A and B are shown apart, each in its own frame.
Chain A
Amino acid sequence: MILTALAAGTTTAVVAEEGGGGFETPTPDIFWLPTFGTSGDWAITEQMVWGGVSVVLLSVVMVALSKNAAIVPSKGQWLMEGFYNFARNGVARDMIGTKHFLKFVPLLFSLFSLILINNWFGILPPVMNPTMGRIGFPIALVLVVYVVYHWIGIKKMGLGGYFAHMVPDGLPGWIRPFIMLLEIITYFVTRPLTLALRLFGNMFAGHMLIVLFVSAGAYFLTQDVLFKLLSVPTFIMAAVMFVFEALVQFLQAYVFVLLSASYIAGALADDH
């Protein structure tokens, strides 16, 4: 029965016929949660509200923890500095290099903290919904990174120089146009596309999986004794998925800033 529910796919609400009908598999519609204005493209969704809340939350916490910075740090300041140093040293300095990285620390740290808290909203009880499960949010973030790494590359090398630097030196002449074409596709299409879709896809799939397990477990509880027993492993699996998702959500925030930093580093690099 579970297999049927899984195989039936995530696109349409399919009523499983054999063995206890009535279970509706979750569909992508679970991400459409308008809170103000229920119709049309301009509805304010729940994700937008929580995205705004996350910004306020981050601002308040960070200002509070860094306001009374002392040489001997308090516990909060110590935690904050550890978090900051992870993005500053672990991502920005290691990827971009000691010469240019300080300029990009604010961008990378903001991206990291914002994505991390919004991803973790997916498993935090009052929210239970990852903001990045709606494609618009990753696209907006990627748009910022996209403009930044092209901008600094063109500013440093000029428009012609920027395109010339995409092709490594020392290649035979006849192969250069092909490499050029490949690199242009990589820089302008593949990189932003994968950056946005990776974050979106992971949050989307993870949330769907959790909803599937939890709703299946809840459905089993309404059936007879045998199915009630079956709900125990289902709920255990849901709990395991929560832990796994916590890891994935952190990893995706890390990967996002890591790749952003590496794209910035690639645009700044003198040679290959």
Chain B
Amino acid sequence: MEGNLSLVGYGLATIGPAIAVGLIFAAYINGVARQPEARNLLQPIAILGFALAEALAIFALVLYFVKGA
């Protein structure tokens, strides 16, 4: 079996952002369930938070190609 260890590293690196994205959307769903009229206010905030957390995983993807390739 062939492969590259930095791929495993990338897999590990995505755990943090994955948990973060889950927490963000959990909070968003909670907020909308409690107060449906706040939906339009919460949506950009949730997507913004999601994008910022996701950036960490994107960094890792790039580092994988920089160091791994």
Interface residues of A, Cβ cutoff 8 Å to B: 4, 7-9, 11, 14, 28, 90-91, 94-95, 194, 197-198, 201-202, 205, 251, 254-255, 258-259, 262
For the complex, what is the distance from the CA of A198 to the CA of B48, rounded to whole Å?
A: 13
A-B contact pairs, 14 of them (CB 8 A): A7-B3, A8-B1, A9-B4, A9-B7, A9-B68, A11-B69, A28-B69, A95-B44, A194-B58, A197-B62, A198-B58, A202-B58, A251-B47, A258-B48
**Contact A4 to B1, CB < 8 A, known contacts A95-B44, A255-B47, A259-B51:** yes
| B61 at interface, CB cutoff 8 A | yes
Asked if A201 contacts B62 (CB within 8 A), the reply is yes
In the complex the two chains form, is B51's CB within 8 Å of A7's CB? no
Chain A interface, DSSP helix/strand/loop, else mixed: helix
Q: Flag whether B38 is at the interface (Cβ < 8 A).
A: no
Contacts of B50 in A (CB 8 A): 255
User: Can you list, as one digit per residue, whether each of B1-20 has a CB less than 8 Å from chain A (1) or not (0)?
Assistant: 11110010000000000000
Contact A11 B68 (CB under 8 A): yes
Q: How far is the CA of A28 from the CA of B54 in the complex (A)?
A: 21
Contacts of B58 in A (CB 8 A): 194, 197-198, 201-202
Q: Which listed residue (A8, A9, A198, A205) contacts B55, Cβ 8 A?
A: A198
- B54 and A7 form a contact (CB under 8 A): no
A269 CB to nearest chain B CB (Å): 15
Within 8 A of A (CB), among B29-53: 40, 44, 47-48, 50-52
> Once the chains bind, are B7 and A201 in contact (CB under 8 Å)?
no
Given A28-B65, A95-B44, A259-B48, is A194 in contact with B55 using a C-beta cutoff of 8 Å?
A: yes
Contact A255/B62 with A9-B4, A11-B68, A94-B44 known, Cβ cut-off 8 Å: no
Q: Whole-angstrom distance between the alpha carbons of A91 and B48 in the complex?
A: 11
Cα–Cα distance between A258 and B49 once the two chains are bound (Å): 11
Min CB distance, A241 to chain B, in Å? 17
User: A197 contacts which chain B residues (CB < 8 A)?
Assistant: 55, 58-59, 62
Question: Apart from A94-B44, A262-B48, what 11 extra A-B contacts exist at CB < 8 Å?
Answer: A7-B1, A8-B1, A8-B3, A9-B4, A9-B7, A28-B65, A197-B58, A198-B51, A198-B55, A255-B47, A259-B48
Q: Which 9 A-B residue pairings sit nearest by Cβ, starting from the closest?
A: A194-B55, A201-B58, A255-B51, A11-B69, A9-B4, A7-B3, A197-B58, A201-B61, A9-B7
**Beyond A11-B68, A197-B59, is A258–B47 a contact (Cβ under 8 Å)?**
yes
Bound-state CA distance A14–B3 (Å) is 9
A28 vs B64: C-alpha distance when bound (angstroms): 13
A201, B48: Cα distance in complex, Å: 17
Q: Whole-angstrom distance between the alpha carbons of A100 and B44 in the complex? A: 19
Q: Which residues of B contact A28 (CB under 8 A)?
A: 65, 69
Complex CA distance for A12 and B7, rounded to whole angstroms: 12
Instruction: Give the complex CA separation of A194 and B65 in angstroms.
Output: 16
Which residues of A have CB within 8 Å of B69?
A: 11, 28
